[in-house]
Amino acid sequence: MTSGFAGACARATLIYLQPGIMQRVDFKEAFGIIQAVDAKLAESLRAVWEQTAKARQANLCCYLAKYPYKHFVFKNGRALDPDGQPLRPDLLVAGQLPVGLILDNLLEVIDEVIRNEEVIEFPQSLLFKDNLIGLWELIDQQLKVEGHPSPNWTISSGSRSLKFIEFPTQKVQWDRLRTRYRQLSTYDKEVVRKLREIDLIRMIGEIDQKSKQWSTQILYFSSLWFDELEQQLADRARVVSATQLFSYLQSTSWSALARVRYNDDELTDALTEWGGDSNVARCKAAYLLLRHSLQVLTQRRPCFGPANGLSSLGPLDTFRNDLLQVARLKPTILGPMYLHAGQAGLLSLSQLVPSAFEENPDDNLEYIFKIISRARDAAARRDIWVPALQGLPALFSRLTFRVRSGRRRQKGRHGSVLTFRVKYSPSPSGSYEREDVPIESFYEPFFSPDSLPTSDSRFFRVALKLDLRGNAFLPQQVAPVRRPIYANEPT
């Protein structure tokens, strides 16, 4: 490496720390930034850059982008700059998406699910520091893949899916906020009930602006990098270094893809056709209960847990001090997390499928268990392998449920709250039984017995705990489907 190259790399730290939204960086300066995050990628890029014609080296530049909290990086497949405008065309690979390296904090990949008249954002996956974005589209272009899908990613800076353990749904709590933040409207129960945390943050201008001081930085690569890579791959004199870079990008893309690829059409069909329930919301809830639980327990989808000390998720201290404390609410914030051995996490069914639990949530949860049981029985009688239905005893041994029934079953502040486990029979033709557990058992290890969430917590209205403490969860091996599931086939 030349002394000039080394000197430019030494100055890269200054560029990395400079405030700014979007800044061009030549490769000599970008090298040090990349090396601090991913040394192998930096060296592979340098090898390609050094065998690029001098006249073209200046074009192999990067752009440093700083995305404020909750701003979209991609929205419905469209790449955006930190101001929310379309990203520079010269950063788009094949005219679609950019390739970028995450330098700090994290990005949240969002599932936008339609529920009646509202669209709910739910975390599909998390992209951490040193992860690359836009790789799948790049590999498709380099390999000249035909028939690849158009990208429709929605990805944000930080987590937009943060959940407050307590929300200002009561008038007295709302009025405390309004006393300090006069731009808030007067209390309207129906309006407040439908608000998401991200909506409340946006409504309070002072908090919204303060939250944007937190950011995620991405280093984008000019699309000319990949034009040059393609040329070098076709040049026998330069192919070795080019192949090393391409192989690294390809292996990295496959590693990321393993987390989000799945095909569970058989599960959808089994639950809707054989579950014996015409209620669309309950069938959807049964499907998402199984799919999300299995994906969380195998580290393919995030669940939620207390976001204590996880500053990479967003400006948590701002929300605790300037919002929750002002409303005199508990400062606990739940954030997305991957669940690993020895840990426990949480999911909220009532927030994922609100329409399934608007009335009689306990009864509807019971219907959902019956849908799952009937679908398993029908699949077994037809000798059809539906992977998610094969290991119900093992899966449900990792789950504990909490539902606010609306009926006072016992005395005390949590008298209307039921906490229980479900045990499915190992035999496909067998049923299931419920076993009550103490409420403290459900909330362990997240909350101590003297600081349990209130009974009216929105997140916990219908929720489940997923537990990977003890023996590791081993999903059923997938066997080929023996024949298709037909609509309207009698059970």
In the predicted structure, residue 339 carries a pLDDT above the cut 90: yes
pLDDT interval class at 5 (50, 70, 90): low
Lowest pLDDT segment from 127-131, 288-292, 355-359, 473-477: 473-477
In this prediction, residue 454 carries a pLDDT of: 85
In this prediction, residue 450 carries a pLDDT of: 86
259-275 pLDDT per residue, tens: 555 556 678 888 888 88
159-176 pLDDT per residue, tens: 999 999 999 999 999 999
Assign 96 to helix, strand or coil: coil
pLDDT interval class at 341 (50, 70, 90): very high
In the predicted structure, residue 108 carries a pLDDT above the cut 80: yes
Q: Which of 106, 134, 145, 116 is nearest to 222 (CA)?
A: 134
34-90 pLDDT per residue, tens: 999 999 999 999 999 999 999 999 999 999 999 999 999 999 889 999 999 999 999
In the predicted structure, residue 12 carries a pLDDT above the cut 70: no
Angle, CA 180 vertex, CA 178 and CA 181 arms, to 5°: 60
Which distant-in-sequence residues (6+ apart) come within 8 Å of 74 by Cβ? 80, 97, 151, 153, 154, 155
In the predicted structure, residue 397 carries a pLDDT above the cut 90: yes
Assign 487 to helix, strand or coil: coil
Task: Name the DSSP class of 320.
Answer: I
pLDDT interval class at 134 (50, 70, 90): confident
In the predicted structure, residue 485 carries a pLDDT above the cut 50: no
In the predicted structure, residue 247 carries a pLDDT above the cut 70: yes
3-class SS string, 175-238: HHHHHHCCCCCCCCHHHHHHCCHHHHHHHCHHHHHHHCCCEEEEEEECCHHHHHHHHHHCCCCC
Q: What is the mean pLDDT of residues 388-417?
A: 80
